[in-house]
Amino acid sequence: MNYETVIGLEIHVQLKTQSKLFCGCSTRSAYERDVPPNRHICPICTGHPGVLPRPINRKAVELAVRLASAVRSSIHPESDFDRKNYFYADLPKGYQITQHGKPLAEGGFIDFILDGIDQRIDLNHMHLEEDPGKSKIEGGVWLVDMNRCGVPLVEIVTQPDLRSASEAAAFVTEFRRIVRYLGVSEGNMEMGNLRCDANVSIRPSSSDPLGVKTEIKNLNSIRFLEDAVNWEIKRQIRVLNAGGVIKQITIAWDDQVKEGQLSREKESEADYRYFREPNLIPVAISEAFIADASIDLPELPARRLRRYIREHEISPSDAVTLIDERSVADYFESVLMIYSGATKRAADWVRNHVLRALNDPENAFNQINELPVTAEYLAELLDLMDAGVISDALGPQIFQKIIETGRSPKQIIEQEGLRPPEEDDLIQIIDQVLADDPETVRRYREGNDKVLNRLIGQVMKQTRGRADAQKVRCLLIERADAL
Ligand SMILES: [Zn+2]
């Protein structure tokens, strides 16, 4: 029997603030690997009796509003905080401060492109909340790290509009790009800056009512999400085909064995006993606050991707590489503003040379704004190659020299004597090469064109790669034929 899959996502994003949501503790542990456990904590975030939350971190609200505004959610002029009560070792207060009744924003949508097709997924709502801590069992001992307690989160909840694991994966990929483009989160999934829960159900056809959904919790990689959702779809189909019923449970994905661990029956709303957090006043958000938070909103990545494919005629896979990081796409566009040649040439150089240099562990920089080859220098280098001032073969070498010295392409060409030889000098070199290798010349004159490459190679070696290979070829043929 065939089934339709229905997926809704809940994505938790750690907002990039210096301090926590309701206290002054540092959020450093969310971004740095070596922070010792329980280093950035205080009586507020560890829930000591009698303490009160501080007024909400303004920066966190600003970042959440920036995100809401970028994805066209309607931001409520007033939103409230509630207590979500549950018992777990990493939640010292016994409740999480979240927004339940009146969340920050409702609606909105996210566009993305999957297999060349435009997709739009609607959002249900978006709310602010505090992160719980972390716990793990090690050597039979339950260990709790409260550094994460109170780190600001925004949670976005989609409508159940996704229809496959690959669609869900593409959605999260795009969402991660968006939060990074906006500067609201680092979006590092491995560090837990972005985690998602997937609600999965199946039904015989799209006209049937929704099936019972299960929830796969805490997926911190896009591949885990895709694997886990596919695994769960198969499991549900097996259960239904065997005449069973789907229970509303939560599932923890174990990537080691590529299997879900079915855990507790899921709590219902009532189990959380939500009520208004009495120690916090509502968050009032004015039009002016929204305008400030939304200043300089960038073009979102999916739109940029579409533009590159349509306007610049860059292939979809190359375009994805260029837009993935905002700083790389910005750099590419700066090159285009100055460079007078073909867009494709600039795109290829950014993809091949610039990205390779950024990913090279040997280099001391890993951000594009630290790259000694600025957009101006790259445009200059490409223009010099196009104008024949230097051969194409020398391009990568000069690129590397810029990285090593920080000097401009023109300076390097002058100082290293990399200009191509004058034609007279080139002819002299060619004649010498022909004179030194009569055997190869004989074979060429007998009609073996393949040996020409060997002669070209010798000339290029003599000129230390400075000569234009095409020109060498023409002159070689001319001189060899005239012998
Ligand atoms: Zn604290």
Q: Please indicate, yes or no, if residue 315 is contained in any of the structural domains.
A: no
CA distance 12 to 125: 12
415, 446, 466: which is the final residue of a domain? 415
Same domain as 76, residue 14: yes
Q: How many Cβ atoms are within 10 Å of 366's Cβ, its own excluded?
A: 12
Distance (angstroms) between ligand 1 centre and the Cα of 181 equals 29
Beta bridge partners of 137: 142
Distance (angstroms) between ligand 1 centre and the Cα of 148 equals 9
Write down the pLDDT at residue 186: 97
- 31, 187 in Cβ contact below 8 A? no
Q: Please indicate, yes or no, if residue 335 is contained in any of the structural domains.
A: yes
Q: Give the C-alpha distances (Å, rounded to integers) separating 319 from 71, 305, 307, 399.
A: 22, 6, 9, 22
Q: How confident is the model at residue 364 (pLDDT cuts 50, 70, 90)?
A: confident
DSSP 8-class letter at 435 = H
Distance (angstroms) between ligand 1 centre and the Cα of 326 equals 33
| Length of the chain, in residues | 483
Distance (angstroms) between ligand 1 centre and the Cα of 183 equals 24
Nearest Cα neighbor of 144 from 217, 26, 38, 20 is: 38
CA distance 191 to 221: 10
Write down the pLDDT at residue 267: 67
Same domain as 221, residue 97: yes
Nearest Cα neighbor of 64 from 152, 159, 171 is: 152
Same domain as 255, residue 374: no
Same domain as 208, residue 174: yes
Distance (angstroms) between ligand 1 centre and the Cα of 178 equals 29
Q: Average model confidence (pLDDT) for the chain?
A: 94
Same domain as 328, residue 287: no
Distance (angstroms) between ligand 1 centre and the Cα of 88 equals 19
Same domain as 374, residue 234: no
Q: Which two tokens stand for residue 72?
A: 């066209």
Same domain as 107, residue 76: yes
State the pairing for strand pair 283-284/214-219.
unpaired
State the pairing for strand pair 141-145/82-85.
unpaired
Distance (angstroms) between ligand 1 centre and the Cα of 53 equals 9
CB neighbours of 428 closer than 8 A, spacing ≥ 6?
A: none
% pLDDT > 90, the chain: 78
Whether residue 232 has pLDDT greater than 90: yes
pLDDT tens column, 297-336:
999 999 999 999 998 889 999 999 999 999 999 999 999 9
Q: Please indicate, yes or no, if residue 303 is contained in any of the structural domains.
A: no
Q: What torsion do the CA atoms of 236, 241, 247, 249 make, to the nearest 10 degrees?
A: -20
pLDDT tens column, 99-139:
999 999 999 999 999 988 999 999 999 999 999 999 999 99
Distance (angstroms) between ligand 1 centre and the Cα of 154 equals 18
- 182, 66 in Cβ contact below 8 A? yes
Q: Please indicate, yes or no, if residue 110 is contained in any of the structural domains.
A: yes
Write down the pLDDT at residue 201: 97
State the pairing for strand pair 214-219/249-254.
parallel
Same domain as 329, residue 401: yes
Distance (angstroms) between ligand 1 centre and the Cα of 237 equals 46
Which amino acid makes up residue 91?
Answer: L
Give me the CATH number covering residue 472.
1.10.10.410
Q: Which two tokens stand for residue 340?
A: 């007078």
Same domain as 357, residue 336: yes
Same domain as 387, residue 430: no
pLDDT tens column, 458-481:
888 888 778 888 888 888 898 888
Q: Please indicate, yes or no, if residue 281 is contained in any of the structural domains.
A: yes
Residue 283 DSSP SS3: strand
Q: Please indicate, yes or no, if residue 317 is contained in any of the structural domains.
A: no
R_g of the chain, CA atoms, integer Å = 30
CA distance 338 to 26: 42
415, 440, 467: which is the final residue of a domain? 415
Q: Please indicate, yes or no, if residue 206 is contained in any of the structural domains.
A: yes
Nearest Cα neighbor of 80 from 151, 129, 123, 17 is: 129
293, 309, 342: which is the final residue of a domain? 293
State the pairing for strand pair 152-158/283-284.
unpaired
Same domain as 64, residue 109: yes
Average pLDDT over every residue of 41-54: 95
Distance (angstroms) between ligand 1 centre and the Cα of 151 equals 9
Range of 141-155, 392-406, 414-428 with top mean pLDDT: 141-155
Distance (angstroms) between ligand 1 centre and the Cα of 92 equals 12
Residue 360: give the domain boundaries. Answer: 323-415
CA distance 415 to 417: 6
Per the structure, how many domains does the chain have?
A: 3
CA distance 222 to 178: 15
Phi and psi angles of residue 262, each rounded to the nearest 5 degrees, phi first: -75, 120
Write down the pLDDT at residue 109: 98
- 286, 62 in Cβ contact below 8 A? no
Distance (angstroms) between ligand 1 centre and the Cα of 59 equals 16
Whether residue 266 has pLDDT greater than 80: no
Q: Which two tokens stand for residue 113?
A: 């492109």
Q: What torsion do the CA atoms of 101, 105, 106, 110 make, to the nearest 10 degrees?
A: -140
Q: Please indicate, yes or no, if residue 401 is contained in any of the structural domains.
A: yes
Write down the pLDDT at residue 449: 83
pLDDT tens column, 240-255:
999 999 999 999 999 9
Same domain as 354, residue 251: no
Distance (angstroms) between ligand 1 centre and the Cα of 83 equals 18
Q: How confident is the model at residue 363 (pLDDT cuts 50, 70, 90)?
A: confident
Write down the pLDDT at residue 392: 87
Q: Give the C-alpha distances (Å, rounded to integers) separating 440 from 17, 156, 161, 464.
A: 70, 71, 69, 21
| Residue bearing tokens 């909400």 | 56
Q: How many Cβ atoms are within 10 Å of 264's Cβ, its own excluded?
A: 7
